[in-house]
Amino acid sequence: PEEVDKLVTLLAIEPEDHVLDCACGPGRHSLELARRGFQVTGIDRTLSYLSSARQRAIAEGLTAEFFLEDIRHFSRPNAFAAAISMYTSFGYFDDPAENRQVLLNLYQSLKDGGVLLLELSGKEIIARDFQTRDWLERDGVFMLEERTVVADWTRMENRWIVVNQGEINEFRITHWLYSAGELKALLSECGFQRIAIYGDLAGAAYDQEAKRLVAVGYK
């Protein structure tokens, strides 16, 4: 709810506006937006997340729809007042042209005057706070994370090990690292205008105290 409070204010969107949540996961932000009267479409590649989000939307009687989609191909021209991509959900395709295509799809899917918000961990923040390894524990589940910067600080390789009741699962994920300037230039190349960069969802400056890289661009 706190994050949605901030992004609604930052984007100046109004209830009943149609919002696209790109890589919505289990619908944390989608469902909260729907509770506030927004029309919401969530897309993701993970069916179990979408099923959970749909069930919660139905149980609460919310105006929200969720679709299994590949964000490289999804486009609904001139349909949305706003689109959001939260928690570093952008930049996972090996080919940079495919990441660019995602932004082109989002641009096409916005109405004239529509707004896109990307919220991710910026390269400057990662460099400032970098840790090779850390771990966390929640409800008896342990997660170990190992990170390696590669390709001249353009990409990050992540190795996650999850230990749950003696069962061990390992995942490897690689994503691109974007500085504020690089992301702003990419958005501009894809047609976005009036691009603003912030250090958090409250609209703080992107400076040495920044917590996240938040990019807002208008069609």
d(CA 31, CA 62): 8
- For 191, the 3-state DSSP assignment is coil
Q: What percent of the chain has pLDDT above 90?
A: 100
Output phi, psi for 77, to 5 deg. -55, 130
pLDDT at 24: 98
pLDDT at 159: 98
Token duo for residue 67:
């679709």
pLDDT at 70: 97
pLDDT at 111: 98
pLDDT at 86: 98
- Helical segments of the chain, H only: 2-11, 28-35, 47-60, 96-109, 123-129, 180-189
pLDDT band at 60 (very low <50, low <70, confident <90, very high): very high
Average pLDDT of the residues in 133-159: 96
pLDDT band at 87 (very low <50, low <70, confident <90, very high): very high
Q: How many residues does the chain have?
A: 219
d(CA 50, CA 197): 30
Token duo for residue 52:
């959970």
Average pLDDT of the residues in 8-13: 98
Distances (CA, A) of 105 to 121, 132, 139: 22, 34, 39
pLDDT at 185: 98
pLDDT band at 204 (very low <50, low <70, confident <90, very high): very high
Number of Cβ within 10 Å of residue 70's Cβ equals 12
Matching residue, tokens 């703080």 = 204
Q: What strand order describes the sheet that includes 141-150?
A: 133-138, 141-150, 155-164, 167-176
pLDDT band at 20 (very low <50, low <70, confident <90, very high): very high
Average pLDDT of the residues in 50-77: 97
Please report, as a single letter, which amino acid is at residue 130: F
pLDDT at 172: 97
pLDDT at 81: 98
Average pLDDT score over the chain: 97
Token duo for residue 129:
């706070």
Number of Cβ within 10 Å of residue 77's Cβ equals 11
Token duo for residue 32:
């909260």
**21-57: pLDDT as tens digits:** 999 999 999 999 999 999 999 999 999 999 999 999 9
d(CA 37, CA 133): 41
pLDDT at 122: 98
